[in-house]
Structure 1
Amino acid sequence: MKVLTVARARRAVRTMLLGTLLVALSATAGLAQSDPLPSWNDGPVKKSITDFVAKVTTQGGADFVPPAERIATFDNDGTLWCEQPYYSQVAFAIDRVKAMAPQHPEWRTQQPFKGLLENDMKTVAAMGQKGLLQIVAATHAGMTTEEFAKAVRDWIASARHPRFNRPYDALVYQPMLELLAYLRANGFKTFIVSGGGVEFMRPWVEKTYGIPPEQVVGSSGEVKLQYGAGGKPELMKLPKVEFIDDGPGKPVGINRFIGRRPVFAFGNSDGDLQMLQWTTADQGARFAGIVHHTDDVREYAYDRQSKVGKLDKALDAAKAAGWTVVDMKKDWKEVFPPSPAATGRSP
């Protein structure tokens, strides 16, 4: 009787150990199979990203990059979120003109405001950069930085994209959100380097991308310190451009506000060409990527002839230099995050 009991005990111990081993093996297999970029189709584009990250984060490897030097920069419009049919900041400015029109009756006869109020976008477009600067000056200045930030947050919460009827910050690219998270999990510090207005981006990017406002580099207008009610200091936005963070301005902005050359950079247009060139010009492992918009069903298809997000010289440079070019239609399983209806969230 005693021998039988001992035998049963031994079998029980073996069963328990086997079960523990199977659970451990199952967990290990699950970790091995986990995919940090689930919205990216398997292929050379995805592999170029994961191979680069593995290469620069392997301690003792020939291409190891210390965490402090793992700087990754991303353009915003067309790289992290939708930029068609026109830049989101332009949509914001248009809505601001319409909201401010009752306080400016003179706009009914003055271009480009007259064109905007009459939805005559052809006339507005014909005025080019001069007209756009007038619109930006009227809608982005003459208020404190706090007042402007509130106006941006209110617009982000209420405005809807003309084609997708979703909030603009719901039209960020799911694969790029995964990429940002993947890089940060591997010790990278992620920055936005955009031609868009820095004060237009800072109020919402942290919630949307996980990038804090101090890691946003963008175009900026002049501000001045003044004293408001009760002598409270405040920053007033002025109708004058201070810095354009686009094209050759991007490396300048990176040098001025970040102070380190990136080892990883992503863009989508000719406005990002110099940032990608500057990133890859230094020694050591470097990564340059371009989002090529090829999917007119799920988003938009455009490149060389587009007036918004034109991709011409940078596309040629990418092919010549061997940079990674993302074919949106082929390389992304999903473009945008699930719709509010699919997740049960309110729009």
Structure 2
Amino acid sequence: MRAFRLGIRAPSLAVLAVVAQAGLALAAEDPLPSWNNGETKAAIVDFVSAVTSEGGADYVPPDDRIATFDNDGTLWSEQPMYVQLAFALDRVKEMAPAHPEWKEAEPYKSVLSGDMKALAAVGQKGLLQIIAATHGGMPSEAFTQIAADWIATAKHPVSGKPYTEMIYAPMLELIDYLKANDFKVFIVSGGGVEFMRPWTEKTYGIPPENVVGSSIKTKYDVVEGTPRIVRQMEIDFIDDGPGKPVGIQKFIGKQPIAAFGNSDGDFQMLEWTTAGAGRRLGMIVHHDDAEREVAYDRKSHFGHLDKALDAAPEKGWHLISMKDDWSRIFPD
């Protein structure tokens, strides 16, 4: 009896090993493991297959495989406020000792007193004033170091994790999948271009030269014998809404064939991308998972999604449901 049991155990283990290896092989073949099987994942895979199949009707040469991603709310969390806004508010507090007049002057007064309702009341004009004051008036390399130092230590106010861990695992997989299929991947964000460039390569694998964003005016100057690019205290370009297609044309020079966003600020980028000839893909990350992240769309101050949400079916844009399409949201 013992001999019989020993006789069947070895083949059973061998079969289990084969099954396990087959399972691992199947898992390795899935380029989007954090995406649940369904229409959204299938649309991505079908699109990539179509535009990369030589001889096919939808084939696109590698040089023209341009994919653009919004950043805030598309690649990482934008709640309870944009990360760069948190950076700017921290900068106001850090710079305040050198500006005693800020204690009585808006919008700085509201920042220093922690009155977020009053800060919201100053609107976009007040926020742009804060950005100009905290992001300008210094050499470009100095600001780059300030941004890099801040992002290395700053924590998300709700999760307590570094902001660079509040990134979306499924979107990281999507970026890698596109790059593996010879796509040129760009970030096109309303965020400041020099705020993002110090950390996008380490965080997303997207190099600084592939980042398009809003910018401060700059000028060339020679400071104590050293040539420098000096940041001015004035906004130059807002890369949001209709500014996104303009920024893409200006800095990339080609119309994307795929675009990914999450808010009405991405409407024109999606519209322009999907209006082009040939096979196109437009997708919107819909924040509908209150349990694992935050559920918001039409009424949100950050990542407002209303017009694009209504237009998506007519324009053929796919809604990515965080709740239904993603098996996990953040990296483990």
Tell me whether 1:311 sits opposite 2:301 in the alignment. no
Is the 8 Å Cα contact of residues 262 and 285 (structure 2) preserved in structure 1?
A: yes
Deviations 1:112-164 (A, max 9, x none): 11111111111111010121011111100111111101110111011111101
Of 284, 287, 299, the match for 2:281: 287
Which residue number in structure 2 is paired with residue 268 of structure 1? 262
Deviations 1:163-201 (A, max 9, x none): 011111111100000000000000101000111111111
How many residues were matched structurally?
315
Which residue number in structure 2 is paired with residue 158 of structure 1? 153
Of 189, 194, 199, the match for 1:199: 194
Which residue number in structure 1 is paired with residue 168 of structure 2? 173
Superposed counterparts of 1:169-248, under 5 Å: 169-229=164-224, 231-248=225-242
The 1:28/1:70 distance shift into structure 2, 3 A limit, reads farther
> What residue identity is the alignment partner of 2:112?
L
- Where in structure 1 do 4 or more consecutive aligned residues deviate above 4 Å? 26-29
Tell me whether 1:94 sits opposite 2:89 in the alignment. yes
Secondary structure of the corresponding residue to residue 192 of structure 1:
strand
Secondary structure of the corresponding residue to residue 253 of structure 2:
coil
Which structure's CA Rg is the greater one?
1
- Separation of aligned partners in 2, 1:203 and 1:261: 26
* TM-score normalised by length of structure 1: 0.88
Deviations 1:250-269 (A, max 9, x none): 11111111111101110000
Secondary structure of the corresponding residue to residue 135 of structure 1:
helix
Which ranges in structure 2 are unaligned for 5 or more consecutive residues?
Answer: 1-13
Which residue number in structure 2 is paired with residue 13 of structure 1? none
Secondary structure of the corresponding residue to residue 300 of structure 1:
coil
The 1:197/1:33 distance shift into structure 2, 3 A limit, reads closer
Is the 8 Å Cα contact of residues 155 and 163 (structure 2) preserved in structure 1?
A: yes
- Separation of aligned partners in 1, 2:164 and 2:28: 31
Which residue number in structure 2 is paired with residue 56 of structure 1? 51
Of 103, 107, 113, the match for 1:118: 113
> What residue identity is the alignment partner of 1:247?
G
Per the TM alignment, residue 282 of structure 1 is displaced from its structure 2 partner at its CA by: 1.3
Which residue number in structure 2 is paired with residue 143 of structure 1? 138
Which residue number in structure 1 is paired with residue 36 of structure 2? 41
Deviations 1:243-299 (A, max 9, x none): 111111111111111111101110000010111110011110000000000011211
Deviations 1:206-226 (A, max 9, x none): 111111111111111100111
Overall identity of the aligned pairs, in %: 62
Superposed counterparts of 1:6-21, under 5 Å: none
- Separation of aligned partners in 1, 2:35 and 2:27: 17
Which residue number in structure 2 is paired with residue 134 of structure 1? 129
Of 307, 314, 321, the match for 1:320: 314
Which residue number in structure 2 is paired with residue 81 of structure 1? 76
Is the 8 Å Cα contact of residues 220 and 228 (structure 2) preserved in structure 1?
A: yes
Per the TM alignment, residue 336 of structure 1 is displaced from its structure 2 partner at its CA by: 0.9
Across the aligned residues of Structure 1 and Structure 2, the Cα RMSD in angstroms comes to 1.7
- Separation of aligned partners in 2, 1:56 and 1:333: 27
Is the 8 Å Cα contact of residues 27 and 33 (structure 2) preserved in structure 1?
A: no
Per the TM alignment, residue 322 of structure 1 is displaced from its structure 2 partner at its CA by: 2.2
Of 231, 236, 248, the match for 1:254: 248
- Separation of aligned partners in 2, 1:252 and 1:135: 25
- Separation of aligned partners in 1, 2:319 and 2:71: 16
- Separation of aligned partners in 2, 1:28 and 1:272: 39
Secondary structure of the corresponding residue to residue 265 of structure 1:
strand
- Separation of aligned partners in 2, 1:133 and 1:180: 31
> What residue identity is the alignment partner of 2:101?
E
- Separation of aligned partners in 1, 2:138 and 2:24: 57
Secondary structure of the corresponding residue to residue 298 of structure 1:
coil
Which residue number in structure 1 is paired with residue 100 of structure 2? 105
The 1:57/1:112 distance shift into structure 2, 3 A limit, reads same
> What residue identity is the alignment partner of 2:42?
K
- Separation of aligned partners in 1, 2:322 and 2:23: 32
- Separation of aligned partners in 2, 1:158 and 1:28: 39
- Separation of aligned partners in 2, 1:108 and 1:298: 39
